[in-house]
A = this chain, B = another copy of it.
Amino acid sequence: MKILLLYFEPFGSDSCNSGAELASLLSDECGGAELIKRQLPVSFRRAFAQAAGHIDCERPDMIVCLGQAGGRASINPERIAVNMAKSSTPDNDGYVAAGERLVAGAPDAYFTNVAVEEMAAELRAAGYPCFVSNSAGTFVCNSLFYNLRHHYPTIPVAFVHIPLTPAQAAARTSTTPSMASTVAAGALTLALTRLAQD
């Protein structure tokens, strides 16, 4: 089994991305599955295009995306991707989305086709703070997730939001939550092992 693991470059003024840092800690073989890791730009225009290139080249059995989510305290597998691009801050290309549809004429939203509730429950039972989220937002993370679900409907796609790293939180405020990349990597290893066996 082959799993394509997608994550992002640093966003804005950050020098790292918590999803990328997590990815770097994962072994290339995970629970019997081969893990193909690819970094994407934080760009509405280019993220999915590059992802599609990797999919067409690697033909994975499953896709797992890691997104950095400042302000979140736990690992959040996303339930749903929505057909909208809207942002208050520019992406790394300087683009601010005004609320337009990602794919004209396509459905408003797609649920993930991975059993995220079961995954989250299993991770919590193993001591990892992991809870399904009902919104991946309307920024580049959601854009990638929606396009993957729309254009590759038969491939299982999980999108998992990850808190900031402790070092990122240290540069913010006393109430900014974080998660050590080693903890997040332990959780993802367990999740990938489980997914590899489904």
Contact = CB atoms under 8 A, between A and B. Distances in A.
A170 B129 contact: yes
Interface in A139-188: 166-167, 169-180, 182-183
Given A73-B177, A177-B177, A180-B183, A171 B82 contact: no
Please give the count of copies of this chain that the complex contains: 4
Contact of A74 (B108, B109, B137, B176): B176
A171 B124 CA distance: 7
A172 B88 CA distance: 13
Contact of A166 (B83, B166, B169, B183): B183
Contacts of A80: 82, 108-109
Contacts of A183: 166, 180
Contact of A127 (B82, B133, B170): B170
Contacts of A82: 79-80, 109, 111, 134
A83 B82 CA distance: 13
Contact of A99 (B72, B110, B117, B123): B117
A172 to B, nearest CB: 8
Contacts of A169: 73-74, 129
A24 to B, nearest CB: 16
Contacts of A133: 174
Contacts of A83: 111
B73 A127 contact: no
Contacts of A127: 166-167, 170
9 contacts: A72-B175, A83-B111, A129-B169, A131-B173, A134-B137, A166-B183, A177-B178, A180-B180, A182-B182
Interface of A: 72-74, 76, 79-80, 82-84, 86, 99, 107-111, 117, 123-124, 127-131, 133-135, 137-138, 166-167, 169-180, 182-183
